Structure 1
């Protein structure tokens, strides 16, 4: 049986290619000319399915951020039911040529416009967005400007504020005199903190080394610095939480789609994610926090992230026919219920589509309130399994 530990995998997925080729690992490259330069879009999954559009964080691209994540067994049903389009920011794709020194990199608002150009080129009418960090910021701006084109958003470490004091003091000033072609120790230190946070760096030094080697060996430093400088010059995203006073007379600027905000308990962006969530319509926004995770959600807790995404998509009405993944939290609870009822001689009806309350999940294991498995009765499990997946988007949860 596969066991997902709370720590990161000792292997280095950023520096390795998948050992086998499958329909959802293999990516089709689509170069697209936008008003702010060329972007490379990679397509995964079967064609002519519901579009799911991703956008990566700074220092990553579609291959290093998403391809391995979508190759997990837990994500197989999603890749089978969606056509996934991974957008690479200009100059950020694998083996990208250095951008001209005189070129002006697009701002966050302009990068949001390139997303619209991608939608138009691929003839995407509406889609679900999945952004991490910088990508979450860009997709949020896009969804605000083109609300009809986005009906669901999955945002990991989504930041809507402008640059804060820590970023400005520790990085913005040093980068003004930094050559635009090479890494410096202060910049690498900042990016490692940005992606992992202090606690994860202490707990997982192997992940620190993996990220450092990735930045030094896999990506074009000059191009990444241009994207980073654009992010550091970002303007705040203007949003206002709807309420009874303003939603009718003077409708506020807010996201109209269903949103799921994901972060880790020790993520350096946790406060920003909470702030962004507070600006969203509470009837359409969910907040998910992993209790045993830092900033690198996809690397530290891929199984939990996959299950949260699956439940979110089912809440939107997709893949409702899909059975519970073999090693998911909900499936473990159902198996425990079945085993308990077998021991008591009454199998009864077992809900295979129930979902365990996420408040009771710690470190990837289901925590029982009773110390003796044999003393847990049918009423207990019937209560725990009654939560349906379609109510997922109505709850703020901690994993």
Structure 2
């Protein structure tokens, strides 16, 4: 991205209840085989890590089945899906790479209790029905020790702070020599990527300008930029104590459900709520999660401001997304107040949808997809569908209808083209 000033676009997406029929979410399409379904419907304390891996592997198989079923829409080279372990000052970090590396890079960072696959797979599964993945290569960055197959860290391991996680992002960007990137973060990941944009702003101005010059855009979901309050601090202290002492427990699972969904679980998709609760109950590395939570609990406020007096001015286009049921609605509004109004357009989109889940990537992927595509289109990306006559940008409404029709018909209407879905 050039050094010329950019206009800042901030979209605050609220999901509010309505009587409309819910649209099938991407996660609802995951059908489990007979031997795996009891693990999801009736989880038991004896369910071990091997069974958790089996469930996740089966989800991955369903994902591949789904993608092959819509191959008439979009041909994906599965040889382009790869993983790398990148050396950082905190050890090796797993990066999952999806797409052609010659395409424009998009980096992602995940939220608490999740890794990059569990946080973003379902959303990119939804989006990839369109030609989105032909334009971007996605680099999913995992926080140390948070992936499913990670080894448990010893007690002596010095887990990175939030600023350290931002440093990891910088190391990954440098490792792959990414000169221009779009950054997409959820929850804690949104905090990390926003922190990356203004990292060491007072100590090294040149570094700050370099990071911001590399960022074409920031897409932030449920972003919090302030330090933890006393109530959050107390809850997190309890989580850390239980995770280190007894492993996964009801208190921490309930906290993670609140963190991702908010209090109105009854208004969210029952299948998604059930599957995430099972996933959290059987996380394989509770001690690693405790370290991640401790870093987030001890976070400092991110130094950004409108006038530059109390922090850096963010000269990067920003898209903020939050569900009405998210516990972080006010925090996202607070982030917006710290953006320079002379460089920003704040759009509050009140969307009449059937639920108010805070986990918008899974529960309302069509809303997030439409917002992201329109946002990137305004920045000069997503110029697809060159038809008989020159069309500079896609018809987003037609694209969304196509995506939803294919989503609702996948693994059903096109089941003749695959052996089993």
Which residue number in structure 2 is paired with residue 5 of structure 1?
A: 22
Q: What does 1:3-82 align with in structure 2 at a 5 Å threshold?
A: 5-6=22-23, 8=25, 10-12=28-30, 15=56, 16-17=59-60, 18-20=63-65, 22-23=76-77, 27-73=81-127, 76-82=130-136
* Separation in 2, partners of 1:26, 1:272: 37
Contact 2:112/2:292 (8 A) holds in 1? yes
* Separation in 2, partners of 1:24, 1:281: 42
- Distance verdict in 2 for CA 1:188–1:251, change over 3 Å: closer
- Distance verdict in 2 for CA 1:266–1:236, change over 3 Å: same
* Separation in 1, partners of 2:77, 2:144: 26
Q: In the TM superposition, what is the alpha-carbon distance from 1:207 to its structure 2 partner?
A: 2.7
Q: Does 1:189 align with 2:260?
A: no
* Separation in 1, partners of 2:329, 2:397: 30
Residue 76 of structure 1 aligns to a residue in which SS?
coil
Residue 39 of structure 1 aligns to a residue in which SS?
strand
Q: In the TM superposition, what is the alpha-carbon distance from 1:216 to its structure 2 partner?
A: 2.6
Deviations 1:11-58 (A, max 9, x none): 458841114364379631011001122111111112211111111111
Which residue number in structure 1 is paired with residue 419 of structure 2?
A: none
TM value normalised by structure 1:
0.74
Contact 2:108/2:184 (8 A) holds in 1? yes
Q: In the TM superposition, what is the alpha-carbon distance from 1:262 to its structure 2 partner?
A: 0.3
Which of 395, 398, 418 in structure 2 is aligned with 1:324? 395
* Separation in 2, partners of 1:177, 1:239: 34
Which of 214, 232, 236 in structure 1 is aligned with 2:301? 236
Q: In the TM superposition, what is the alpha-carbon distance from 1:168 to its structure 2 partner?
A: 2.2
Which residue number in structure 1 is paired with residue 330 of structure 2?
A: 271
Which residue number in structure 2 is paired with residue 314 of structure 1?
A: 377
Deviations 1:279-327 (A, max 9, x none): 1123336455555432101111001111111111111111224433575
Which residue number in structure 1 is paired with residue 203 of structure 2?
A: none
Which of 191, 210, 214 in structure 2 is aligned with 1:137? 191
Contact 1:43/1:84 (8 A) holds in 2? yes
Which of 140, 149, 159 in structure 2 is aligned with 1:105? 159
* Separation in 2, partners of 1:151, 1:174: 36
* Separation in 2, partners of 1:19, 1:85: 19
- Distance verdict in 2 for CA 1:285–1:233, change over 3 Å: farther
What stretches of structure 1 of length at least 5 have no aligned partner? 333-399
Q: What does 1:236-385 align with in structure 2 at a 5 Å threshold?
A: 236-242=301-307, 253-282=312-341, 283-284=343-344, 286-287=346-347, 290=351, 292=353, 293-322=356-385, 323-324=394-395, 328=399
* Separation in 2, partners of 1:285, 1:226: 37
Aligned residues: 324
Contact 2:83/2:95 (8 A) holds in 1? yes
* Higher Cα radius of gyration: 1
Deviations 1:147-178 (A, max 9, x none): 22212000000110111233123332453465
- Alignment RMSD: 2.8
Which residue number in structure 2 is paired with residue 380 of structure 1?
A: none
Q: In the TM superposition, what is the alpha-carbon distance from 1:275 to its structure 2 partner?
A: 0.5
Residue 300 of structure 2 aligns to a residue in which SS?
coil
